[in-house]
Amino acid sequence: MTTYEWITTMLAPVAGVVSWLAATRLRQNKTIREMQQTIFNLVEENKRVYQELTEARREIVGLSAQVSRLTLENAELKQMIENL
């Protein structure tokens, strides 16, 4: 076999392997980009949920203070009624 025949015989398998490796790398990169985007989306969602939770806790604290105040007021009113 001549050099030209060797080159043409080996060119197709080598080109196939190179293209397969390139395609595999592109698929992996695409998968990594999709995973990174998913992580970014989850972080944003987590920030939103955490903010809502913080606001809900503030409301709970405010309502607890209000309940305590009303409980004291109720006790005072009961005491006033008993004294009558």
Is residue 83 over pLDDT 90?
A: no
pLDDT at 6: 79
Side-chain half-sphere exposure of 79, counting CA atoms within 13 A: 6
Cα 21–Cα 38–Cα 46 angle in degrees, nearest 5: 160
Domain ranges of the chain: 28-84
pTM of the complete model:
0.58
CB atoms within 10 A of CB 46: 10
Quick: pLDDT tens for 7-42: 878 888 888 888 888 888 888 899 999 999 999 999
